[in-house]
Amino acid sequence: MSTPYVMRPSKLEDLPALMELAELSGPGFTSLPVDESILEKRLSKSEKAFAGRLDRIEYGKYLLMMEDADTGEVVGCSAVKAGTGIDQPFFNYRIITLSQASQAAGNMRFDMDALVLTNEYVGYTEVGTLFLKANHRGGGAGRLAAQSRYLLMATDPARFGTNVLAELRGVIDQNGVSPFWECLGRHFFRMDFDEADRLSATTDNQFICDLMPKYPIYVDLLPPEAREVIGRCHSEGVGAYKLLQWEGFEFDRTVDIFDGGPLVATQKRHLRTIRESQEVRLEVLNDAGAPEFKQGLVSTDELPDFRVCQAAIAMRDDQTAVTTADTFEKLQIKPGARTRIWVRS
């Protein structure tokens, strides 16, 4: 059974709703800062991206809003950034393994992990900003918010990179304290985690270039509470992590420089939603016959009017699918329109 939700491009009028989502998201959710002016600029950039008004396609930042089609309430969001590290530096820690051996000490050998500052993901497309109000999670809503990003990429692949990454929020306690930050970042930045997080979201990140350690940091020299959270995601991000793994993302031994959360990556052509989706002409179900329906997703095929919703779908032939009338209402299209579908196997 389909839900009443639909994913659509953000609009400038979504600012109050986006502010509410930012306030609900909690500390460490860098892409949703509680800053009205920043969010307003983000909505403006998204509007330009969907309209194709970009100096370079790599600058595209596409924000999707989840709307309850029955009430009009905005209940969540997700986003795609066409190119990371293009308009501002994108730094992470890569976990490398250093080997040391000594014949003089009885042929002893040690392998030790170290954190090395890197900005090697320039040009990757990034998916993120996945957040839903607590009372609207479940029933496939999270999957809709996540997979809509890949259907967006499939609609116009040339706008997006060959490789795709996602960052997950790291471990932060109920008081907004990050063990990784307290044991490492604070010594170099001399500021609270919230302040560093705010600067990361609202500046060109020059402060990271200026203050981050330039030499490898041996993981074994960090306190246990910091070592334990390296590469772990926030408890509220476990579901999103599982969806990313299902999609084909893998942990790339790279973590966030502030909270130690994991970075996962894959190639665009390996994304499961894209691989398993297909373009079809969509028709409304009539009373002639009872086809075998499967649950899935349907998206429109043009970015300015891009929309995605869950639907019951049946194939009539290789090029045509049928669905119920409410799907056309959610997508604001007419029977016979070209669409892209993904069907749950």
Would you kindly state where each structural domain of the chain is located, as residue ranges? 5-93+118-273, 277-343
Q: Return d(Cα 184, Cα 178) in angstroms, integer.
A: 10
Spatial CB neighbours of 238, under 8 Å, sequence gap ≥ 6: none
User: Which pLDDT score is estimated for 92?
Assistant: 93
Runs of H (alpha helix) within the chain:
15-25, 36-51, 141-155, 179-180, 186-189, 193-202, 206-211, 224-227, 238-247, 272-276, 325-331
Is pTM beyond 0.75? Reply is: yes
Which parts of the chain have pLDDT scores under 70?
1-2, 287-291
Equal CATH topology for 5-93+118-273 and 277-343: no
CATH of segment(s) 5-93+118-273: 3.40.630.30
Give the active site residue among 136, 187, 234, 270: 234
Q: How far apart are CA 153 and CA 147, in angstroms?
A: 10
pLDDT at 290: 57
Q: Is the CB of residue 76 less than 8 Å from the CB of residue 240?
A: no
Q: Which amino acid is at 17?
A: A
3-class DSSP state for residue 221? helix
Residue with tokens 């009338």: 325
* Per-residue pLDDT at 2: 61
> pLDDT value at position 175?
85
Going by DSSP bridges, is the β-strand pair 217-218/163-167 parallel, antiparallel, or unpaired?
unpaired
| Residue range 277-343 in CATH 2.40.40.20 | yes
What pLDDT score does 287 carry? 58
pLDDT of residue 39: 96
Looking at residue 105, its pLDDT comes to 73
Name the packing angle between helices 36-51 and 15-25 (round to 10°). Answer: 120
Q: How many CB atoms neighbour CB 219 within 10 A? A: 16
pLDDT at 326: 93
Question: Is 234 one of the annotated active-site residues of the chain?
Answer: yes
